[in-house]
Structures are given as structure tokens and as C-alpha cells.
Structure 1
């Protein structure tokens, strides 16, 4: 053997160490490679599973948004049927459907709890949903309490409300955002699948290469391969499930589109039906009103015309008897004016004239009038027990309400029985009786032992023009006028009745201290001696020739110097030719220009002149800015009322004060 071929012990040891080290290095490399592959496979599987979970969540949010949209649409359609049909079952169905929609909104909020990009939309949707719920519940309550026309009007307004459009817009934004997010998540699922496939290919190659290195590597590769197959099967199953869910969403979207088109058609049909119903109610109301009040007005006009005719015959020979007939005619005219005010008060177009009233003294003072009205066969029992509590109401209206209730009680008892009137102090909680707020009230009760009413009749007694009396015996306005008066007075009215057991009507009127309020006067109907004022030059603007002549005569009778103006367009020219005019007395409603419009159109040099407005309709007098600084005299008026209004306009007008201050 040559010296160069000789193997030293050192060389053998080094090779032996190398042989031992190589397997260790291979094992270490195998373990490290296996660890890297396992970590990569785990991350790929986890990312894939997370992407699938996020994808399912997006599908869930989209499905919940569509379901909520459909539930809201069904609820509103059900409410529309309830308002029209007044069917309690339909009302309960609406409540169930709306609560179902609230549950779906809650589920939508829970599904998007971790989605920061959706939190603003969902919070806005929840707020709008709450506001819409309040509006619809108000409509439902009005319908439940037989305020059908108010409910229809409120529902019509709610149909045009922006919150419904905003809810639909927010739902569309949520769905659009989730669709965009869904596309991102679908891309993430695809990328995670590609990574899984890449890991699989690498693992197979690595397993084939290292299979010969160690048996445990082959076993480990087999386990990993089985896990990979399981993950792939799960991915395929999730993909199939996602495909089925997408198909279901598409089918549901098609159903919702069809339902939306049907709802649009039903909305159009409902709008047409509502318009027809309103027109029918208008015509019916006009017919009933004409027939109902014609009898009362004809009676009053008969007194006026007959009294004037008799006074004309007796004027020369029997002046005292002529004066009595003139007094009767004036009383008939005042009764006609009172009926007009009651009708305007019922329509809430005539302001009330409240004053502090002791209800006990009011009942005692009406005892004789009630006895004379209902006849001798009915026993009247008064129980005043208000303990000094005062109410702040229009005395004429409350007297008329009590008298109407007594007449209704007389008719219910067929002219025989016991009629009880009582007052009592009560303290109510908020909402305890109707819409009354918490506080002290005086309860005024009128009860009889007559025939009573069935529940279906009692539910409609406050409806305008509803009456059970024969044609010509009643207008159907009595109880509805009382209802309007009590509500205008911030009170409430209720009825306890049962067939065969009589009827009890309770009026709850808020307590007011007599020292806290001022008694209102009505200058137009004063009966005192006319208040004389120094002669004044007055421009009278009135388009009705007869009223103009009467006003001119009345002003002359009071010692004033009137100037006639039969059209508002002539006022400026007459003022220019009569520089000594100190007051403008004008009607409110006239052709071409109203009284306030004429005043505003006058040149600035006449701005200091005080204005006296005269009107037979003062519905907006308390609220309108046109009357803010001026005296208003309501028709019909007496000489005393005219003199009082002239004195107030000439001495208390802010314009007069301003002119004097300027001088």
C-alpha cells in the first residue's frame, strides 16, 4: 500500500463523525422542514377558514337587510289595511310584524357588531327605525281611538316622509357595503385555496424526496396528507354551501323585487281610494251640515223677520209694543251669532274667551235654566263639591255644553227620570284619563237613569254629524262640539254607559286659580252704554254696500265723521284727499285685497294711522301676525261694542303711541 493510500485514525474518526452528523443534519433538516410545512399549512387552513367565516357573515348581513326591508314593507301595508278597515286583528298583526322587524334589526346589529364600516349605517338605521315606529304607532293609536280621518291624514303624511326613503337608502348602503366586502372575502377564499394547493404540491414533492430518509418522515407525511385532504373536503363543502346560499339570496331578492312592485301598485290604489273617500266625506259632511243647522237658523230668522215686521206695523200706534218686537228680533239675531260662534269653535276656527269660573256657582246659576229646558217631569239633583277650585274656560261654551248634555239626558229618559249634576276635585296622573297631563282637575259630571247606549254607539258619539235621533230632530254636532270645546280647554271628556243603566258623562277641566288669570271681555257684544269719544275722521273700507251704509250710520250716531270707501284699492286715493283722517276701519275679507294686505300696501306716510279690523271670521286672529298691533272687532257688534273698539284703537294703538312719541 502506498503511503498516500493509508487512512489515519484521525481521518476515520472524522468520517465517522461526519456519517453520524449527516443523519442528524438530515433529521434536523427534516424536522425543520416539516415544522415549516406544518406552520405554513396551518396558516393557510386558518386563513381559508377565517375567509369562509367572513364570507358567511356577509351573506348573513345581506339576508338580514333584505328581510328587514320586507318586514317594514309588510308592516306598513298591514297598518294601511288597519287604518282603512279598523279591524282589531289587523292592528294586532301590524304590531306583531313591527316587533318582528325590530327583532330582525337587532339581529342585523348583532351580525355587524365587529364591522366598523357598518356601525354608522346600522346606528342611523336603528334611530330612523325608532322614529318610524313612533309615527306608525301614533297612527295606530289614532285608529284605535276612532280618529280615522286624523289617522288617514297622518298616514298620508307618513307615506311622504323622508325617513322611509332614508331607511331604504341605509339598507341599500348596508347591502352595497356587504357586497363589496363579500367580493373581497371571496378573493381571500380563492387566495387561501391557492396557498393550500401550493402547500400540498410542495409537501408531496418533499415527501417523495425525504421518504427514503426516514420512516417517521413518511408516517408524518401521511398524517399531513390526510389532514390536507380533510381540509380540502371542508373547503369544497363550504364552497358548495356558499353557492347554495348565493342561490337562495338571489331567489329571495327576486321575491322582494316582486313584492316591492306589488306594494307600489297597492300604494297607488290606496292613494286613489283615500282621495275618493275624502271626497265622499266632504260631500256627506256638507249635506248633513246643511240639513242639520237649517232648522235652527230658520227659527232664529223667523224671530228676526217676524219681530221686525211686527215692529214696523206697531211703530206709530204702539211704540212700546214695537220696542218689544225689536228686542225679540235682536235676541234672535244674537242667538244666530252665538250659533255661528259655536260652529266656529267646533271647527277650532273661533278663539275661546276664557275667564276664571267657580263651577259650583255656575251650576247653581243654571238650575232655573235647566229646569225650564228639560221640563217638570224630570227631577234635577245638584251636588256642587268643587271646594272652591276654579276653572279657566269660556263661560258661554261650558254653559252650552252642560245644557246640551241635559237635553240629551232628557231625550234618553223620555222626559221622566232623575238628572244629576255634580262637581268634584280630582288629581290625575299623566295619561290616567285620555290625554290629560298630570295635575289638578275639576270633574263635572252629568248623569241620568235613561236607556243608556250600546258600546258600538258610545264609541261614535263624539263623531261630527253622528246622531241616533230621527231626521230633523238633531244635527249630530252637540257632543262633537262639546268634545272640541273640552279639548281646546286642555281637558278631557269620557262616557260611562250601559244599555238600561243610564249614562254618565264626565268633563275634566284643568284647575286654575281665580287670582292667576284675567277675565276676558268681548267688546263686539257688549250691552253697556256706548263709550263716547271725541269726534274723529274715520275712513271706512267695506265692499258690502249694506254693511257700509250701516257702519256709516253707526259711526255718525256715535258722533264721528266717516268717509265711505267701497273698495280697498280706493283707500290710498281717499287718504290723499282727506289729510285729517285719524283712523282706518276696514273689513278683513274683501275682493282683490284683504284688509291686512291693503294696510301693508299703503304709503309709508300713513303708517302712523291706527287700524281697526272688522271681521266675521276671526279664526287666526290669535296667531296671525297681521293683527298683532291692531284692534279687531268681530261681527255682529252693537253700538257699545263699536264705541269700545274705537276708543281702544284711538287711545291704545301702538301706532298712535309711536306717532305721539315721534311728535
Structure 2
């Protein structure tokens, strides 16, 4: 059994018999060999030949695992048979089995290429010799295969070295191009951020200047009515001209803030993403492959079309930076219904969203960094290489639009940033609670002057507004804050119009107007503002006829108040309140 195990292991399986070619002219000796092989438990198939022609034909086919040959044959000798085997099947083990094989002849046979020899007087050695011969043949075959592989390796080594050198050179050139492109884009980003900071600063400063100019221009107008001598009137005209030039100057400064204006409209994200392919490719470089997986029946999203393009570009540049020497950037869109409450502040609330995702095959985000990625000015890049505002801007845009952001990342695998944007639905209306009614006609006479509520936190500006409107013939009440205005309306909602400043601490003008629409929808509202950027106002559907720019010039305040009263005021006015 040991012989069968070793032999079958050498041949690759217990089910495959050993194929033996036997060169023997004696029937008795052949039978004796068979008995020895059977007694050893060897699984085999024996093919016997006795002539040169038959042996040569079998050797040419090279289909045997072992050759056993007698040395003395009627028509030719064993050495001739060995020569035939070495010529046609040199890799097959050749073992002499002879009763007349002397030591000298055996040595000569081994020199000529025989694997081993066994005398017929010691056939008990045959199984061991067979095992050894097959093992040696297997070892020789493995060595020859290794030598062939080594020769092939040596033959292609120079070619492979040259190819690898070329690949490294190309990668180095691509990396240098990426570095140059990244430096260019980062410089452009730093410049844009500097301009944004300047715009924010000038917006705040110009708003304060407009408040000051409102006080100055208003008091100049009041003084002009009381001054009679020409010299004083001339000086007042010079002051009025200076105030007007100051107003024009602040308007020019405030033009910076108009570039960030949000104008939500129905946007087809698939078309937006597809149209940006060339821009994205030029921005992230040729080393990054761009793929797009766009859902065919994607819901339209209610977003600012320009801002969503900037968000996608921003995420693509972040993804490029995460892929050191190139990779794959994937842009995906999908319709998403979320039912679970958000587990992190940046995630969207439950609802239906049009989702756009940007994925990379970069290094991923470590867990200790992931929880801080939305913080403004937080960055893991070296000094001067990143502002830390990219994802903070994505977060702010998504939240301001009514959606949210989610990040999926795995170290060494890449990152996916999903931006959820509110879908455009045909039936977005929500029924409001039925308010109670208050009949102001019982407390108002037909000839009463219109009652106005003026809301402004700056007392000097409020005094100018109140004086102008009082002189125009209106009954005025004042409030110094949004909360104070709500308290006044709760006590007496019978006002014909509310004039409210847009920029106030706490409740700003938009907040006050929203509360008025909810509780006293019949009261019209006019906004006064020192900002040239009226994004927050126009986004709520407020037309230019309801916005008065500070400082007040050319009777604009009085004209727009009169127009609003003419549109909304009617006899027997009923105001509603849910208070």
C-alpha cells in the first residue's frame, strides 16, 4: 500500500493507474513481474512489447509513466532500447530488469541514461526502485519547469524593466500636472474666499452706513423746511448731495453680496450633472476617471441652479485631493424617501428628496476626523493647502435649501458624500389652522387716518421713518424690536400696514413678517433695508414694490406705503388672529 500511495501521489491522484511499458520476450518473466507488482498493491496498466518495431512505436507516443526493459532480447539488446527511449521520450524513467545484467554492464547502462536496474534474482527490490524512479522523474520535471520559467523571466526582464520605467515616468509627469493644477485651483479658491470675506465685511459695514445716512438725509430734509436764508439752504443742499454720494458708494460696496444670492427654482439634477462633465474633467485632471450613474425618472429639486453646480464642483475637487495619483470619481443621482429621524445634525429630516452623490476611490476619512468635517475652518491639509470651508459650505447650502448631507467612508476604499435636496411636488400646500376673526370695523371710523406700525431697532432711524410717515398723514405706533411688534399686535391687531426693518437682532424683519402672515394675514408689510442684496426678501416672494432702500430718497417710502394701503385697505376691514 505504501507503494500505491507514493506512486499515486506522484501522479496526482489515487484513481489514475500507472501506465508501464514492458520490453520482455519471456512469458514466464512477464508473469513473474506481474505477480510482484500485484503483490505490492500497485495500481497499474501494463503494455508489453517484444520487438524493436513495437517498442519504437510505443516510445514515440510518449504516453507511459515508466519503462521496464530486459537487457537480453532476441532481435536487439537493452542498450539499443535505452537509446531509442532517450531519443523519443527522455523524460520517462527507464529501469532495466534482467537476469544476466552484470555490474559493469549496469554501470554502463546508468551512464547511458538508465534510471536504475533490478536483477531478476532480486525482484523484491522492484517496487522500491519504481517509487524512487518516479520521484526522481517528478523532481527532474519540476526542475526543468523552473529552469524554463527562469529562462523566460530572464529573457523578458529587460523589457519589463523598460516598461516599468516608462510607467513610472508617465505617473511622475501626471503627478506633476496634478500638483500644478491643484495649486492653480487652490489659489483660485483662496481668492474666492477672500472676496467672499470682503463681501461679507462690506455688507455689514455698508448696512450700518446706510442707517447713518438715513438719519443724516432725513434730518437734512427736516431742516430744509425750517431754513429760509439762501446760504443755509445751499449748505443743506451740499450735505444732501454728500449723503446721496455716500448712498451710491455703499450700494457699490454691497454689490459683492449679490454673488451669493440663492434663487431656488426647479432643477433637473441629471441635466446639471451631465452638463458639468467637461468642467469637472478639466478641474480634476486626466488622471481621474469620471463615471455617472443617473436615475432616469429623477424628481426635480428645488434649489439654486448656480449653487448646486458649485457644490458638485467643490465635492469633485475634494474627491480629487483624496486620490493621490488618480482614481475614479462617480456622480450618482437617485430618488430617496427617508423615514428615520436624523442621527447627526447634518443629516436630512424625514421626507422625499432628490439626491446627488459624489464618490471617490481615495484614502477615506479616519473616524477621529469624520465627526469634525463639517466644522468651518477644520482641515487636515497642511498650512496653506486648504481652507476647511468646502464641506461646511456644502452643509450650509443643503440645510438652507431644506435638505441635508450624509457621508459614507471606509479607510483605503474611498468616500461618498450624499447631498439630499427637497423635491418639487405638485401638491405642496398645507392647510392652515382656521383662525379666529376680529372685526376692526367696530373700532374704526370711515374717516380715520390709516394706522401704521413702524418696527426698527435703531431709534434714530425709527424717528426719521416715523416723522416722514406722520407728516404724510398717518397715525403711527412704534416698536423697537420684532418681539415688541408681536406684543403690540397681540394687544391691538387693527393696523393698516406694518413697516419693518429687515436687519434686527433676535427676530429680523422676515421673521416678523412670517408671524404676521400666520396670525394676521390681512395686514400688509413693507420692508426697509440698508442691504443692496435683497436675497432673503425676494426669496420669500416679496416684490420690489414692498422693499424700500435706505437711506430714503425722493419720497420712495411715502409712495410705496401709499400704494400698499391703496391695494389692501377696504371699508369694514376684518383682521384675523389665531391668538
Higher helix proportion? 1
> Smaller-chain TM-score range?
0.3 to 0.5
Higher Rg of the two aligned structures: 2
Give me the TM-score of the superposition, normalised by structure 2: 0.38
- Report the TM-score, using the length of structure 1 for normalisation: 0.34
